[in-house]
């Protein structure tokens, strides 16, 4: 049986958020890369609920989700990372965090000269957020401003 957006909407509405509707965007903002990828600075953004051990994890907020984000240093050792997100299968992520937060792959791309450099900070969100306004008007714009301040040219988005 195929899972459709309508079935997911129905599930979320019946489990605590009766007004939930998926955001449907008809346009996508796009800015062409202004330099060669091999000279560009890249960032990593995941919705896998990744956080640094010892810092607060994400909070499911009784099935509503968590619109906040976590800053993760791009040079962090992967054994210092964990994840909290109840809405996906963690089997592979438990074996290798790079499945949901490919930080080591980004470093390999930089080391091999495929990309120029890495942002100092990467970002993580919890991908299950049924009340989207705080995400759209507060946290996502905040991360965008931080990426801009750090002169990031592109971001790899890892949806989970």
- Give per-residue pLDDT as tens, 13-63: 887 778 777 777 777 778 889 999 999 999 999 998 999 999 998 887 777
CB 61 within 8 A of CB 68: no
Looking at residue 33, what is its pLDDT? 92
Looking at residue 7, what is its pLDDT? 84
| pTM reported for the whole predicted model | 0.85
Q: What is the pLDDT of residues 83-133, one digit of tens each?
A: 877 766 767 777 888 999 999 999 999 999 999 999 999 999 987 787 888
Alpha-carbon gap, residue 10 to 53, rounded angstroms:
34
Looking at residue 88, what is its pLDDT? 63
Please count the other Cβ atoms lying within 10 Å of the Cβ belonging to residue 31. 7
**Is it the case that residue 135 has pLDDT exceeding 70?**
yes
Looking at residue 59, what is its pLDDT? 85
Contacts of 139 (CB under 8 A, 6+ apart): 67, 68, 69, 125
Q: How confident is the model at residue 77 (pLDDT cuts 50, 70, 90)?
A: very high
Looking at residue 90, what is its pLDDT? 65
Mean pLDDT of 3-8: 80
């Amino acid at each position: 049986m195929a899972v459709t957006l309508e079935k997911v909407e129905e599930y979320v509405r019946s489990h605590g958020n009766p007004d939930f509707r998926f955001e449907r965007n008809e346009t996508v903002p796009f800015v062409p890369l202004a330099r060669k990828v091999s000279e560009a600075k890249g960032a990593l953004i995941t919705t896998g609920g990744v956080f640094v051990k010892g810092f607060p994890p994400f909070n499911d907020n009784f099935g509503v989700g968590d619109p906040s984000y976590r800053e993760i240093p791009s040079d962090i050792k992967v054994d210092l990372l964990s994840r909290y997100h109840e809405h996906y299968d963690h089997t592979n992520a438990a074996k290798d965090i790079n499945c949901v937060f490919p930080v080591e792959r980004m470093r390999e791309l930089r080391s091999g000269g495929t990309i120029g450099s890495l942002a100092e900070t990467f970002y993580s969100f919890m991908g299950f957020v049924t009340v989207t306004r705080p995400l759209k008007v507060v946290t996502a714009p905040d991360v965008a401003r931080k990426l801009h301040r750090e002169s990031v040219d592109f971001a790899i988005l890892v949806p989970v």
